[in-house]
Amino acid sequence: MTRILVVGGNAAGMTAASRAKRLDPSLEVTILEASSRIAYSICGLPYFLSGLVRDLSELELFTPESLMNERGIEARVQCRVVELQASQRKIVVEHVRSGQRDTLGYDKLLVATGYRPITPDVVGAHLNGVFTASRLGDADAIASWLSSKRPRRAVLVGGGYVGLEVAEAMVARGLSVTLVEAATQIFSTLDPDMAKLVEDELSLHGVQVMTNRHVRRIAAKGDGDVDAVELSTGSLRIPAELVFVDVGVVPSVELAENAGVELGPTGAIQVNDRLETNLPGVYAAGNCAETHHLVSGRPSLIPLGTVAAKQGRIAGENLAGRHSRFIGAVGTSIVKVFDIVAAKTGLNLREAERDGFSAVESKILAPARAHYFGGAPASVKVIAERDSGRLLGAQIVGSAEAAAVIDVAATALTAGMTVRDAAQLDLAYAPPAGALWNPLLVAMNTLAREL
Amino acid sequence: MTRILVVGGNAAGMTAASRAKRLDPSLEVTILEASSRIAYSICGLPYFLSGLVRDLSELELFTPESLMNERGIEARVQCRVVELQASQRKIVVEHVRSGQRDTLGYDKLLVATGYRPITPDVVGAHLNGVFTASRLGDADAIASWLSSKRPRRAVLVGGGYVGLEVAEAMVARGLSVTLVEAATQIFSTLDPDMAKLVEDELSLHGVQVMTNRHVRRIAAKGDGDVDAVELSTGSLRIPAELVFVDVGVVPSVELAENAGVELGPTGAIQVNDRLETNLPGVYAAGNCAETHHLVSGRPSLIPLGTVAAKQGRIAGENLAGRHSRFIGAVGTSIVKVFDIVAAKTGLNLREAERDGFSAVESKILAPARAHYFGGAPASVKVIAERDSGRLLGAQIVGSAEAAAVIDVAATALTAGMTVRDAAQLDLAYAPPAGALWNPLLVAMNTLAREL
């Protein structure tokens, strides 16, 4: 019997295990997960905090029991893999509660250890009431804090996807919210002009947005609970009974690195298009692994569940003996912030320049639907390479329906289209469903004039 | 001075005239339009009938006066071009009201004469109270009939896009509505199983749908107004005070054909990728012209405003002396019918087989959003070529947001993607905005297993 071990029971690991077992039911597939839950949607955390998701179990697709019953896959939770002995095809597992260690052999192994949030290097970063989010347990901890301590004021340190969604959730819970961002803009995935639209939306809903401010320390009350966030600029002190930190993530690669798995230039695990590492029988997928970026052609870090799940699917096929290739990704993301949705695909202007492209951009403001259907205007930016006219990226901030068009840009990027060809895309129109000239096409036509 | 004449003042003609004048303001651009209005959105007709659009002028983007003031383009309305003398680069124009004829010379001419609706070859097809829709004046006529005659019962003959939207408008106006379709399904752009979902939605909202029924004649009352639609099967007689006919359209090619312009196999005007006809200086664009179908590789008829406007834009650039190419189209369409939206791109199964493809299909039912956001399920069908795995088409029936994904399929079709590559498209996900696995990707993965 062929034995497959999967280290990590979330998007990439779960998808890989399920796919491998489905393709070859004779495989013995075991998932090893350090936390106490598998197969959960961490993306749902803000909606649990806001109260839209009533019970955390709604975010769990499987328990170890249901996974065994429905898919014949064993999942061992609270089992941390502490050592990979690749030359002997063995791992050492530590049971988190007992500290007891076991050794397990494998024929093929998938490293799907994901990422962990960066903790800021300031005094007070580990106080009671200071949270990050990467595990479903974090949602429990924040929810408990909210109900037991009844905080009135929250400070969010950093403004990425989850931070923005948590800001909305905190406002929904009645907290007064301040967002402190070290950079000159929040949401660095967008260009500054597009991120400004998101900042405006936050302000409109009462979130105080402070950019270009560094946290000096997080102060405690006498009982050790968080009391305030102190800034290095202007000696400002922002009182808060809850602090949420979202200043980025790093791939969790220690296990693999210690075993001799090669890391790439991004610091994540280097894989080929079959998602194999340099060690025989060892694969990597998800947010601990690099992703081939289809626009830059370079290895990149794209810490998103969508990419992790797709890599997991391909890894699962290869674990089952197929020869499947992961084509890569373009880094498409979307986030709802109060009444607007912000979306991005490919490279933003800063990223395009960093990657050596001579980039040109165009931004338009366009209604999403026929005027008598009252479509809200959307800002659409497209970026192309000056000489070739090749599309490099797109950003949209507007209504949910306007932002959904980002997927069209993502598809055009994947196909390597030029702006001129993309401007002729045969997109659908009916008065209730859009505009005769889709805003993305208008932006493409505008950009084509700049080339 | 270079003189440009544009025959037809709607999507293709208006866009071409505007684009040419914008690129070269020294051009003298004149639009000749047989009806009394230019630059209107015939797609808005159903929403005028339903009352959502209060005034017909809301559907007019320009009047001849505003077109001259804002863009420096002359538009002569109620001027029918009755003859094209291509060898002398002249046309003969008849003033509709006076019958007076003029001769005008041109350097370049665009035929943008559009289509006209097919009138069924039955007795009574021209009775008072029997309508079709292709001109904005039709909306006026139907609205007048509705307010003066106060019909209680309407019969729609044929079930295409406009027919379905008019059905909804008639229900909104309180009429009892019967849809009579000669084929075994309504909305032939969809496969029968997908069209059935639209039929069910119509039935759910009180529209009686009768397929596989032929109209034998339309009967009149003593005063000459329409009284009933009589069917050839079962001698059924359906009383109606208003009949709307939507049994298809034909390209309006008489002017061009009589002048020696070559027609293609579809019966529409044959054009190259610069939208030139066989006659020097004579271009054609819009619904009177053929469209290169990017999936079948064949000339096709795609009577949609989106394609007409894009052809018009390219024609306008070439009228102004550029060398622009129209890449072709994939036939993407979308229609809202009560609470669902139906969308299609590329070839349906019947069309794929007609065009010689060995086609395989897959259909899935998938929620559009995370379950805690309550996404309604959507039916997604994708069709591919068996051996190559090349994507041939997609159909979606579901919520507006689910159906909008048709544009992603359209883009993948334009790029010639295989189902396996399209299954890996990096599409956006956030709980309020979609599913981790976009339903289109789920359908692609399901189809990939059939190949």
Q: Does A323 touch chain B (CB under 8 A)?
A: no
List domains and CATH numbers for chain A.
Answer: 3-39+55-115+250-319 (3.50.50.60), 119-247 (3.50.50.60), 340-450 (3.30.390.30)
* Disruptive mutation site among B426, B442, B451 for chain A (greatest number of A CBs within 10 Å): B426
Place of tokens 């349906």: B348
CB pairs under 8 A between A and B: 201
**What average pLDDT score do residues A359-374 get?**
78
Cβ atoms of residues B374 and A406 within 8 Å = no
Smallest Cβ–Cβ distance between B370 and the set A44, A165, A406 belongs to A44
Using alpha carbons only, what angle is made at residue A18 by residues A12 and A22, rounded to the nearest 5 degrees?
A: 145
Q: Does B326 touch chain A (CB under 8 A)?
A: yes
> Would you give the distance in Å from CA B77 to the centre of its chain?
23
Give the per-residue pLDDT at B235. 73
Q: Does A301 touch chain B (CB under 8 A)?
A: no
**What average pLDDT score do residues A193-201 get?**
96
Residue A368 pLDDT exceeds 60: no
Q: Does A172 touch chain B (CB under 8 A)?
A: no
- Weakest-pLDDT range from A234-238, A403-407, B106-110: A234-238
| Mean of the per-residue pLDDT values of chain B | 94
- Where residue B86 falls (left for φ over 0; alpha for ψ -120 to 50; beta otherwise) is alpha
Backbone angles phi, psi at B414, to 5 degrees: -60, -35
Closest CA to B393 of B410, B417, B378: B410
Model-wide pTM > 0.90: yes
Closest CA to A382 of A433, A333, A418: A418
End-to-end, the C-alpha distance of chain B in Å comes to: 59
Backbone angles phi, psi at B142, to 5 degrees: -65, -40
**Structural Rg of chain A based on CA atoms:** 23
Residue A283 pLDDT exceeds 90: yes
C-alpha distance from residue B417 to each of A417, B327, B422 (Å): 12, 16, 6
Greater confidence (B256 vs A224) lies with B256
Q: Does A332 touch chain B (CB under 8 A)?
A: yes
The pLDDT tens digits of the residues spanning B162-192 come to 899 999 999 999 999 999 999 999 999 999 9
Chain B closest CA to A399's CA: distance in Å? 11
Write out chain B residues lying below 8 Å of A47, CB-based.
Answer: 370, 372, 431
Lookup: tokens for A102: 């076991």
pLDDT tier for residue B436 given thresholds of 50, 70 and 90: confident
Cβ atoms of residues A260 and A86 within 8 Å = yes
Residue B372 pLDDT exceeds 70: no
Using alpha carbons only, what angle is made at residue B388 by residues B383 and B392, rounded to the nearest 5 degrees?
A: 25
The pLDDT tens digits of the residues spanning A100-134 come to 999 999 999 999 999 999 988 899 999 999 999 88
Chain B closest CA to A228's CA: distance in Å? 31
Considering B2, B23, B41, B43, which one is annotated as catalytic? B43
Give the per-residue pLDDT at A27. 98
Lookup: tokens for A382: 């497209």
Name residue A284's beta-bridge partners: A111
Please give the Cα distance from A325 to A342 (Å, whole number): 30
C-alpha distance from residue A342 to each of A182, B319, B334 (Å): 21, 39, 25
Residue A372 pLDDT exceeds 80: no
Q: What percent of chain A has a predicted confidence (pLDDT) above 70?
A: 97
Answer whether B401 sits within 8 Å of A401, measured CB to CB.
yes
pLDDT tier for residue B59 given thresholds of 50, 70 and 90: confident
Please give the Cα distance from B242 to B227 (Å, whole number): 8
Give the per-residue pLDDT at A373. 63
Please give the Cα distance from B269 to A308 (Å, whole number): 50
**Is residue B79 flagged as an active site residue?**
no
Question: Residues of A numbered 43-62 whose beta carbons fall under 8 angstroms of chain B's beta carbons: which are they?
Answer: 43-44, 47, 52-53, 58
Write out chain B residues lying below 8 Å of A335, CB-based.
Answer: 430
pLDDT tier for residue B376 given thresholds of 50, 70 and 90: low
The pLDDT tens digits of the residues spanning A299-344 come to 999 999 999 999 999 999 999 999 999 999 999 999 999 999 999 9
- Weakest-pLDDT range from A66-70, A216-220, B43-47: B43-47
Write out chain A residues lying below 8 Å of B161, CB-based.
Answer: 430
Chain B closest CA to A326's CA: distance in Å? 8
Closest CA to B110 of B217, B46, B18, B193: B18
